[in-house]
Amino acid sequence: MRLQRAMLLGLAVLGLLAAPLAAAAPAGRVPRIGILPGGPLAPRVHQWDAFRQTLRELGYTEGQNIILEFRPPAREGDPFENLAADLVRLKVDVIVATADRAIRAARQATSTIPIVMCPSRDPVTEGFVASLARPGGNITGLTILTVDLTGKRLEILREIAPKASRVAVLWAPGPDGEAQFRAAELAARAMGIELVSLEASREEDLENAFEAAAKSRAGALLVLGSPSFFGLRARITELSQKRRLPGMYWLPSFAHAGGLVVYGPSDTEYYRRAAIYVDRILKGAKPADLPVEQPMRFELIINLKAARALGLTIPRALLLRADQVIE
What CATH number did the domain enclosing 209 receive? 3.40.50.2300
| Contact present, 274 and 142 (Cβ < 8 Å) | yes
Which range marks the domain in which residue 46 is found? 2-143+267-295
**Residues comprising the chain, all counted:** 327
Distance (Å, whole) CA 211 – CA 245: 12
| Contact present, 250 and 149 (Cβ < 8 Å) | yes
Residues 160 and 255 in one domain: yes
Residues 99 and 210 in one domain: no
Query: How many other CB atoms are there within 10 angstroms of residue 96's CB atom?
Result: 29
Residues 290 and 162 in one domain: no
Residues 216 and 320 in one domain: yes
Residues 123 and 7 in one domain: yes
| Contact present, 305 and 25 (Cβ < 8 Å) | no
| Contact present, 70 and 37 (Cβ < 8 Å) | yes
Residues 258 and 276 in one domain: no
The predicted structure's pLDDT at residue 26 = 54
Q: Is the peptide bond before 37 cis (omega within 30 degrees of 0)?
A: no
Residues 76 and 209 in one domain: no
Q: Considering Cα of 36, then 38, then 43, then 49, what sign does the dihedral take?
A: negative
The predicted structure's pLDDT at residue 4 = 39
Which residue in 106, 141, 97, 180 sits closest to 294, CA to CA? Answer: 141
Residue 70: strand pairing partners: 35
Residues 32 and 53 in one domain: yes
Residues 125 and 47 in one domain: yes
Distance (Å, whole) CA 164 – CA 213: 13
Query: How many other CB atoms are there within 10 angstroms of residue 22's CB atom?
Result: 13
Phi, psi of 97 (to 5 degrees): -120, 130
Count of structural domains within the chain: 2
Residues 159 and 109 in one domain: no
Residue 199: strand pairing partners: 171
Distance (Å, whole) CA 56 – CA 51: 9
**Residues of the chain predicted below pLDDT 50:** 1-24
Residues 177 and 118 in one domain: no
Residue 34: strand pairing partners: 69, 95
The predicted structure's pLDDT at residue 122 = 87
Residues 160 and 288 in one domain: no
Per DSSP, the three-state class of 206 is helix
